[in-house]
Amino acid sequence: MKYLLKNANVFLNKTICQKDIFISDGKIVSIADNITSAETDVEIFNMSNCFLFPGFVDVHVHLREPGFSYKETIKTGSLAAARGGYTDVCAMPNLNPVPDSVEHLQEELDIINRDAVINVHPYGSISVNEEGQILSDMDGMAENVIAFSDDGRGVQRDGLMKDAMLKAKSLDKIIAAHCEVNELLKGGYIHDGEYAKTHGHRGICSESEWGQIKRDIQLANETKCKYHVCHVSTKESVELIRQAKKDGVDITCETGPHYLVFCDKDLIEDGKFKMNPPLRAEDDKLALIEGVIDGTIDMIATDHAPHSAEEKSRGLEKSLMGVVGLEVAFPALYTNLVKTGVVTLEKLVELMSLNPGKRFGIDTEIAEGKFANISVWNLDKEYTVDPDDFLTMGRATPFDKMKVFGECVMTIVKGEIKWKN
């Protein structure tokens, strides 16, 4: 496969400049002002008015296989990711069987090798069956997992989390933590704020998140492991992580697109607004945005979590937690953060590609000699988000019916076009 991408606005060295890119045998051969080719087997694309970004990396997705293929499959989820401009996604381990051993992990790897449209990197679980009692076979799985997580559940036992961090340190792997103190949940399912009080819903307090982050920061400081906080949603969490970075803790964190755009004032009685952690208060949203601006928040991950239509049709109280985001993340963030002047386009690309790639060891750079992992966008395209057009099997997203700018016109993975509009 040989491609010549002409007249593109290319993200190079954290700036955007107009260049041509020649791709052959999976790799970027040359980047220059005006490339011509006399070869007959080269497919030429005029990329005028298009922007070429390094492929996006989502370190937090749920592809639901094995075990829950009625919600999503690795094939449908990875195709949705390609449409959203992602070349790499990291698949969370709350599956059946949980990837807690070499044997169980192999079941997931076999499906990835057979069906994945883009690069899919599996997580291994921290504990056996994600039950928080016994460490998983971290040694056995280490070479085939991107990191370790018990996502969907907070690790309640301090001793187990410390043991996991020590083991991860010895393996040079990341512990990615879903931070949640079970005893503080008290049956809550949305944020313990004004909407919950006004409408008679049971709330989830902010301390259920930041309380466990505080514990984990202390453990990470003791063990010196690489520690990553999943889906940060509260202002207290942001401040704890900001201080931990100042103190030299090896810590990074992510937040989701929905936490940067919505707050609990935007809630309606619909399962498409129910996720874990929940949409917090407006001052939490503003603290997250400030954390993005000052670098406290390193990356944006969708926590793409598809469910069946029936599972999301039960309102705020009884719908399952989780929303989809792969196909709408960049347009929603570009529209709500870049076009409004909150962050620059270059900053958004760092949050969605360079930073997660650097932390999780995924090379995303557009450079000569590198694999061609490229996301191509028409930023002028305006449209209304319609979940019925999604490629994911999930339909529940709070961005439903939002007018956005930005359409992915091509995604190239290792030199092969995996999505083209």
Position 278 scores a pLDDT of 98
User: Does residue 37 register a pLDDT over 90?
Assistant: no
Handedness of CA 131, 65, 204, 352 (dihedral sign): positive
Q: Percent of the chain beyond pLDDT 90?
A: 98
Q: Is 303 in the active site? A: yes
Active-site annotation holder among 264, 303, 386, 388: 303
pTM for this prediction: 0.98
CATH superfamily of the domain spanning 55-360: Metal-dependent hydrolases (3.20.20.140)
Which residues make up the CATH 2.30.40.10 domain(s) of the chain? 2-51+369-420
Supply φ then ψ for residue 332, to 5 degrees. -65, -40
Report the alpha-carbon distance of residue 109 to residue 119 in Å, rounded: 12
Beta-bridge partners for 32: 20
| CATH of region 2-51+369-420 | 2.30.40.10
Q: In what order do the strands lie in the sheet with 86-91?
A: 56-61, 86-91, 119-122
Nearest Cα to Cα of residue 290 among 332, 330, 342: 342
Bridge partners (DSSP) listed for residue 377: 51, 408
Mark residue 194 as left, alpha or beta (left: phi above 0; alpha: psi -120 to 50; beta: remaining). Answer: alpha
Q: Give the mean pLDDT of 38-45.
A: 89
The residue-averaged pLDDT of 358-384 equals: 97
Average pLDDT over residues 174-182: 98
Residue found under tokens 């092969």: 416
Query: Mean pLDDT throughout 141-146?
Result: 98
Q: In which residue ranges of the chain is CATH 3.20.20.140 found?
A: 55-360
According to DSSP, the residues that pair with 88 across neighbouring strands are 57, 119
Cβ atoms of 337 and 343 closer than 8 Å: yes
User: Are residues 8 and 47 in contact, defined by beta-carbon separation less than 8 angstroms?
Assistant: yes
Does residue 54 have a cis bond before it (omega within 30 degrees)? no
**Using 50, 70 and 90 to split pLDDT, how confident is the model at 39?**
confident
State pLDDT tens for residues 211-233.
999 999 999 999 999 999 999 99
Question: What type of residue sits at position 90?
Answer: C
